[in-house]
Structure 1
């Protein structure tokens, strides 16, 4: 099972050397691209949205610079690809998966995306694969509300989502769980949600605060998450520990059933790296705009660290296509940045 799944990830990365997937694999991926870009992103643009926004995770809370360093405690079996290099300069973007005018009090899913600079070797990105960058994408939920690309392709509208969750009650429960309240971006826990290869291993990642973070109930401001992270980083540095949870077998740590949690009691997390974010003014001129200009994709990574699963396969097409639409209309550079801002 492990070999077959890793081989599938390889096939997705080097399609010219593989056979053409059957229509049952191709069509959900194209349906997902069409839903996120043609139905959602382009229709908003045609309705007058300026500047053009991302297809998902549209509300930016802040962008910051930092450094990612492989931890001394990182196990030897995980020191592959990205985790045998570094330290890396990093730019990161916090966001929510809602329009920018939706208040933070609505308890929306958070996104946390990291762009690593100084990566050695070509990546699996469909655009600018020779750029010396790699991306890591997290959200504040360790599970997803659909299992795979086939299920995701079935919910391209609100009516379809309602019909799907009427039958798949677990998906509705997960959607409600994903809309969790967070008092601070610095206190939240972030997860890769989907599995990744690390050499011959398979893992899921998470980021947890390196120290206890004191928080208070948020005030009435609809952008309290942005205000909180701005104040914290003006006052001092914050840090996260990046950890990995290893695949055991498909019965307890399933590879393409994203609604099922990998229990920590079965597969404990181990340290991989540390993210240090120095004190800074994230409101300084150009910093927010720089964060908005960055594009992130889980496939912008080394082969040894490739994403796995059918949802990841769909993201390989949808993410760069969405970024190209947005950047072209906004007059932004289409290439990856060579150096951090």
Structure 2
């Protein structure tokens, strides 16, 4: 591909099949360990490997503007008829805390948003994003899973278990000392030192994917007009959820959708997820949640499986994420899981 300002010129370096198979096995082991621990409140049942606690599950709309560069008019951002109205998708939106077991909203944690919709051609498309400042705490999937091993050990066995797992990762070479320090530093800065008053005031970023010939990162950004602070009463263990419900009682909440294009491997690396991209963010749409969800809607959305490769070609870490997310979903079928057909049918009624 020829380089330019259209997102082309990238080189993809996915993990090899053996590494991905090992990561798929590891995610199952992590889920089983968490389920069997008396400290995680999972009752012995396997649940999501990450983002277990749903803060809010609601249906909304995603509007894609007509005024986007031609290099982005592919896949879910492309019109089938150029003369038609702007693209409007009915979406399922799941807002969550990052840990793989339920914890109070007051605990330091990554916050995430997952959005599911189906294009006019019936293509299932998911946008998965976290508020880690445009980057992951890990460079690649192998490093991410090594850090996850430590987090799981701490949650399941306490601080001592986490320390033992850290030493194991260092001894086996799954995690190197410098990498471990870097990952912890990112987590401390983006999570531990970043208080969240309301998720409506947060910005969220996804991992790199291919859209047409371009490498991109998509993101959600809060509007400058969003009221500051929290609208919850106090900071209870579910204050982020209370804040959202109180805001929705007064009117819609939303974010604008942005896309960044690949420029070069130094400023917009495809193969290092720990680096925030430095290219401009192009506004291409808006996400809106207009009303408080029903209990039934929230229960259905909590049973949906999301995958960052749905609707896009994976690049970089997203290759491994595609397989690991699919395995994580399959492993938790015992808790109830909506198929793609069921999710689509549900969206058609909303």
1:318 matched to which residue of 2? Answer: 324
TM-score by length of 2: 0.79
Unmatched runs of 5 consecutive residues or more in structure 2: 2-7, 80-86, 151-161
**Deviations, residues 6-54 of structure 1 (Å, cap 9, x unaligned):** 6x67xxxxxxxxxxxxxx72232123222222x2212333456365421
Task: Give 1:113 shift.
Answer: 0.1
2:209 aligned residue (171, 193, 196): 196
The alignment partner of 2:24 has SS state of: helix
Q: 1:4 to 1:61 in 2, by over 3 A?
A: closer
1:55 matched to which residue of 2? Answer: 49
1:43 aligned residue (29, 33, 36): 33
2:273 matched to which residue of 1? Answer: 258
2:220 matched to which residue of 1? Answer: 207
The reply to whether residue 232 of structure 1 matches residue 239 of structure 2 is no
Unmatched runs of 5 consecutive residues or more in structure 1: 10-23, 122-131
Q: 1:101 to 1:4 in 2, by over 3 A?
A: closer
TM-score by length of 1: 0.81
The alignment partner of 2:268 has SS state of: coil
2:184 matched to which residue of 1? Answer: 172
1:204 and 1:285 map into 2 onto residues whose CA distance is 33
The alignment partner of 1:215 has SS state of: coil
How do 1:1-341 and structure 2 match up within 5 A? 5=11, 25-37=16-28, 39-46=29-36, 49=43, 52-85=46-79, 86-120=87-121, 132-141=123-132, 142-155=134-147, 156-157=149-150, 158=162, 159-161=164-166, 163=170, 164=175, 166-168=177-179, 169-179=181-191, 180-192=194-206, 194-216=207-229, 219-263=234-278, 267-278=279-290, 280-282=291-293, 284-301=294-311, 305-309=312-316, 311-327=317-333, 329-336=334-341, 337-339=343-345, 340=347, 341=350
Q: 1:325 to 1:236 in 2, by over 3 A?
A: same
Task: Give 1:269 shift.
Answer: 0.9
Q: 1:4 to 1:242 in 2, by over 3 A?
A: closer
The alignment partner of 1:290 has SS state of: helix
1:229 and 1:206 map into 2 onto residues whose CA distance is 20
